[in-house]
Structure 1
């Protein structure tokens, strides 16, 4: 119900809590940039290239530290994403098919148009394999930037961006599984299938022990990694099996999501950025017109808003649905969806194994994400009502979508 009094003035904290994950990502990326352009560069690369073996002697898995971060720790990130996806589908923004149709269509357009722009710039030069780099949205970063506008942002616009980003992540997961699997070993794939069967079985019986799912998830990761499929997909599969409610009415899913949130937002994502975001500035000018740089940059800062805006208008017209805000506001939100960063860097690392292509990939992702952030912030600052003009609703949730209060469950 709408009250008759204007909103009370906000307390102007130096930095909104919701923005901290995005700031940490930028700080980690900036630190990597400083180090790779300093006398510590050789030490930085030597540490990331260090071989680490996990498992029994003679039968363990040996990978460079950088690959453990990309394939191991990012599996935990994808577990967190899988939990968020399941929650949103079962009881969140995507649980109502009619309400979910608009952001789903918008997300599809927001993935397709950037991919086409990337191919326009890069396919002729043989770099078309990276077409999915600008297709994803970094949820934490995008919502962190949006939080800088405080309570000026209507809940409907915030929910729309969250839903689009969630569908984007789902699309990115499918893309990684289908298009970035180089070879398959059927025996290990069948072994992974057996483990997945056990996960589905304990899900059927609503087993509430998170440890049971994690242990099976580790085995699933090993078999998927050995089969040729990205082991990070094990995280999503485990997340999809953890029940929302167990036989006692508690929520293992919310418990797991709440426990993982600080580790993912404040640990794994900044660490990934630190390991994969460093760009050497010497000779950087030679990459400004590189096809990958142009494809990733323009795909994020132009393809995302064009795709989301066009398909949103089309879907709203066909379904006679109401848009979550004005055209100008929707454009600002669509620009923020062009902040690819973590997911774009991750897909870029999968798409191009050649170290010489890391610089144009990272430069394009940086440029596209930063410009998208500033464009979105500027447009929304002009399009949204001033803080003292906003009316407070009794039902409004003042908590940002990805900063959840501790769930109510028994220990």
Structure 2
């Protein structure tokens, strides 16, 4: 189906050598669903290699260089590159998460209470049970505050594994995992806002919230310009949140919820207008012997562009445009800055520490019990229905994929530990990252083979 559509689009189109050998292959690579996860994995691998190579000192010191504004002898916003990555670049990631969440609540799986019930319950179970497992290993210790680390699911990696399986996987399973991961992201945002926030500057906090209200009012008045929302969102909401002590990524989610999600032109009107414009273009004056268009043709094409833009919601337009930037810039840079674990000589002691075990067991056992166990319980109790086309084995496989907690778990790791010394904080972070890597790798492989085997079994049975 997709191949046929691509061929239709290419018919009658002139391709230059640059299109054929550079632009089209790059676009094809970027458009694949698995590509984002592959790039993220490569970035993490590069970070680990650098952190354990002769360049280790350079790698770690690079992220500690400070960048700020210097005006009249005073320095403002003077933060390390690592801080700018986690509070600046990742704010863009959370903005896109907020856009996805709003879209799901308005017109996606989460908009229908009946369809949303199971993924919501599964997501809550997949957050609470891992946190309990971590607490069992670390209760009463200086590392006990890391309970939020195994709560998260990395939607890019988890969906990447599903898409690797191709047609073996029912569409309803992809929808279920997407809805689960979106709710999981919302839970992670709330945990960061409530439990992993430093001392609060209430003046800055309420300044930021005031601008959030202003953006909601702007939306009510019909303002749809995305640059307008970007300027106020960055300087009116994100910057005050950054200075308030509340994690700046929360601001991004709030701003995302203010972006308009309605179109100016509905589908039926759009179709009729485009038909009219195409007719006008067909009978417009033409430059018969030159490749340029006439003024009349340009006006028609401009009308088509404006009408097409009006038919798209600002929310979906932003989400569509920002996804490649997040997948191929934001997340790989985040992985480069945060995944570089320098393994100590006593690696066995690190991998068997309470923090490492708490994170690893929390992710693997906690997610499987929380997602699969609680899902099956509510289905048996007839609180929610099994999605069409799925079996218990599908949910069991997804339970393991939900244990891939890479990006968000690494993010929470940077916030979770506040030990008495920087050395102890660094040690706990190292152990948590080891737990994340081990659990994500093991869970991804197990989940892949469980889901792959379902198709194989079904094929044998059918034949």
Counterpart for residue 404 of structure 2: 339
Counterpart for residue 30 of structure 1: 45
> Deviation at 1:389?
8.5
Distance 1:160 1:385 in 2: 21
Distance 1:317 1:379 in 2: 22
Q: Cα 1:206–1:292, aligned 2, differ >3 Å: closer, same or farther?
A: farther
Corresponding residue SS for 1:62? strand
Q: 1:243 and 2:260 equivalent?
A: yes
- The 8 Å contact of residues 329 and 384 in structure 1, kept in 2 or not, is answered as no
Normalised TM-score (structure 2): 0.78
Distance 1:76 1:214 in 2: 11
Corresponding residue SS for 1:279? coil
Corresponding residue SS for 1:358? helix
Deviations 1:279-312 (A, max 9, x none): 1123222201111100111111111011111221
2:361 to 292, 298, 301: 298
Counterpart for residue 46 of structure 1: 61
Deviations 1:322-379 (A, max 9, x none): 3132111210011101100000000011112522222101101101111110110011
> Deviation at 1:124?
3.2
Q: Cα 1:14–1:188, aligned 2, differ >3 Å: closer, same or farther?
A: closer
Please report the RMSD computed on the Cα atoms of aligned residues, expressed in angstroms.
2.2
Any unmatched runs of 5+ in structure 1?
Answer: 1-12, 392-411
Report the more deviating stretch, 323-332 or 142-151: 323-332
Distance 1:270 1:55 in 2: 29
> Deviation at 1:390?
12
If asked which structure has higher relative contact order (CA below 8 Å, sep 6+), I would say: 1
Distance 2:229 2:457 in 1: 47
> Deviation at 1:56?
5.0
- The 8 Å contact of residues 115 and 135 in structure 1, kept in 2 or not, is answered as yes
Distance 1:203 1:366 in 2: 42
Deviations 1:79-99 (A, max 9, x none): 000000000110011110111
- The 8 Å contact of residues 143 and 428 in structure 2, kept in 1 or not, is answered as no
Q: Cα 1:151–1:16, aligned 2, differ >3 Å: closer, same or farther?
A: farther
> Deviation at 1:320?
5.1
Distance 2:29 2:457 in 1: 19
Q: 1:375 and 2:446 equivalent?
A: yes
Q: 1:228 and 2:245 equivalent?
A: yes
- The 8 Å contact of residues 69 and 272 in structure 1, kept in 2 or not, is answered as yes
Counterpart for residue 408 of structure 1: none
Q: Cα 1:47–1:318, aligned 2, differ >3 Å: closer, same or farther?
A: same
> Deviation at 1:154?
0.3
Counterpart for residue 270 of structure 1: 332
Distance 2:458 2:251 in 1: 44
Runs of 4+ more than 6 Å apart: 13-16, 386-391
Any unmatched runs of 5+ in structure 2?
Answer: 1-27, 265-309, 419-424
Normalised TM-score (structure 1): 0.88
* Bigger Rg over Cα: 2
Distance 1:15 1:246 in 2: 27
Report the more deviating stretch, 313-322 or 35-44: 313-322
> Deviation at 1:386?
6.9
> Deviation at 1:102?
0.7
> Deviation at 1:55?
7.3
- The 8 Å contact of residues 152 and 185 in structure 2, kept in 1 or not, is answered as yes
Counterpart for residue 312 of structure 1: 375
Counterpart for residue 117 of structure 1: 133
Deviations 1:218-251 (A, max 9, x none): 1211111111100111110111110111445531
Which structure has the highest helix share of the two? 2
Report the more deviating stretch, 70-79 or 244-253: 244-253
- The 8 Å contact of residues 207 and 246 in structure 1, kept in 2 or not, is answered as no
